[in-house]
Amino acid sequence: MITLEHDTPESIPNPNRWKIMRVTILLAFMASLDGSIVNIALPTLSETMNEPVSSITWVVTSYLIALCALIPFFGRLGDIKGNTQIFKFGIAVFTFGSLLCGISVNLTMLVISRLIQAIGAAAGMSTNQGIITRAFPPNERGRALGFNATSVAMGALLGPPLGGFILSFLSWHFLFLINIPIGLAVFLLGRKILLNDPASKERLDIKGFVLFTLSAVLIFGSIGSGENVQFSNPLIIAAIIAGLVLAAVFIIVERRQSQPMLDLSMFRSSMFSISIICAVLVYASMSSINLLQSFYLQNARGLGAFLAGLILMIYPVVIAVTSPLAGYLSDKIGTKIPTLIGLCISSVGYVVAAFMTVETSLVLTVAVYVILGVGNAFFQSPNTALIMSSVPNHKLGVAGSVNAFARNAGMVFGVLIATMSLFAAMSARYGQPVNDYIEGRPDLFIYGMRFAYLVVAGICFSGALLTALRLFGFKKQDNAAL
C-alpha cells in the first residue's frame, strides 16, 4: 500500500472526493483532446483559409508550446494562491479560448485564440493532480490518479478519430465549440464543489518564470519549425542553442532563489527524478502510435478513415478500462512493481508492432493495440501516484506541473523522433530524401515503420531499466514511497 511520507494524521478523506475527481479530469480530458483533435483538420484549415500547410501547423504547435512553457508557472502559482483557485481560472480561460477558436475567421485570430486556450489548459493541467492528491487518502490515491491518467490518454488518443467524425458532418469550427457546454458545466460544478485553498505568503519568482518561458518557447518552437524547415537551418540551430543556454541560466538562478518557481530540491529524491524521466520516455513512445498507425492503416493497408479510426480507438479504450485497475493494484501492492510491469509489456508491444506488415491480420493488429494499452495503463497511474506521493503537500502544485510538463514535452519529442526515424529509414531504403508516404510503395513505409518502432521500443525499454534501478537499486532511499 502507498503511504505518503508527508501525510499528516489530520489527513481526513474529503467526502466529496469522487465529485472533485470528476470535475478535475473533465478539464484534463478537454485540454489533452484539444492538443490532438486539430491534427486531422489541418488540410481542411489550409484549404479554407488559403494558407500553406507549413503555416497552418502553428495551430497545433502554438498550443503545445504555450502549454509546455506555462505549466510549471501555474503549478507554482497554485501552491501560492491555491490550486483550486488557479484550476477554476483555467476552466474559465480555456472555455473562453474555445469560443474564440470557434468563431475565428483567419489564421492569425485562430493562433491567438489557441494561445488563450493553452493558458487555461496549462492552469488546469498543472493543478488538477495536486487537487486529487490532497482530496484522496493514500489507499485510494492510485486509483484516483489512474482515472486522471485515463482522461489525459483518452483525450490525446481520441482526438484524431473524434476530429474526423466531426469533420464528416460539421464545420471545423465545431472542433472547438463542443468544448463550450462542457466547459461551462465544469466551471459551475467547480464553483460548487471545489473549496478554495488558503493562500501562502510566498512570492512568485518572476525572473525564473521569464527564463523558463523563453527557454521553452525557443526550444519547442525550434523543434516545431525544424520539422517544416530544416534542422540544419542556422536560425533553428541558433534558437535551440539559445534555449539551452537560457535553460542552464534558469537552473543557476533557481538554485540561488529562496522561493524559486521550480524547487530543484525535489529532484534530489531518486523516486521523483526517475519517475519524471520515465514519464518523458513513456509519453515519447506513446505519441508515436497515432502518427505511425494512421499511415499504416490507411495508406499501407488501404483501410477507410472510418474503419481505421475505429481500430485506433481500441488503444485508448483499453487504457481507459485498465488505468483505474492498475491504480487500484498500486494502492494494494505499491507503485514500483506495476510501473516496471507496464514498461516491460509496452516494450514488447512496440517490438511486435515493428514487425507488422500489410499481410498482418487485423486480429493480430488489434492484439498489439491491446498489449500497448495495457502496458501504458499499468505505467501511467502508478507512476503518477509515485510522483505525487514523494513531495509534501505544499509542493503538490509544482510536482503536478512538472509531471504534466514531462508528459507534454515527451509527446512533442516523441512525434519528432518517430517522424525523423520513419523518414530517415525510408530515405535510406529509397536512395533519395523522403518526407511523405510514397503511393504504390507500402514496402518503403513498412521498412521505415519497423525502424521507427524499434527506436521507440528502445526508448521505452530504457525507461524499464531505470524503473528496475529504482526498484532494486534504491531500496533504502525514499522507502516511504512504497
- Look at residue 476 in the predicted model and tell me its pLDDT: 47
What is the residue range of 165's domain? 17-204+261-481
Q: Is the pLDDT of residue 462 over 60?
A: yes
Is residue 183 located within the same domain as residue 159?
yes
What average pLDDT does this structure show over 296-325? 76
User: Is residue 10 in some structural domain?
Assistant: no
Is residue 248 located within the same domain as residue 326?
no
What pLDDT band is residue 245 in, cutting at 50, 70 and 90? very high
- Look at residue 112 in the predicted model and tell me its pLDDT: 93
Q: Are 440 and 309 in contact (CB under 8 A)?
A: no
What pLDDT band is residue 8 in, cutting at 50, 70 and 90? very low
User: Is residue 12 in some structural domain?
Assistant: no
How many of the other CB atoms lie within 10 Å of CB of 182?
17
Least confident of 2-16, 208-222, 234-248, 299-313: 2-16
Task: List pLDDT tens digits, range 199-230.
Answer: 667 777 788 888 888 888 888 777 766 555 56
Is residue 122 located within the same domain as residue 199?
yes
Mean of pLDDT over the chain: 79
Is residue 134 located within the same domain as residue 213?
no
What average pLDDT does this structure show over 220-247? 76
What average pLDDT does this structure show over 251-255? 85
Of 217, 239, 260, the last residue of a domain is 260
What pLDDT band is residue 54 in, cutting at 50, 70 and 90? low
Of 260, 292, 326, the last residue of a domain is 260
Between 100 and 359, the higher pLDDT residue = 100
Q: How many domains does the chain have?
A: 2
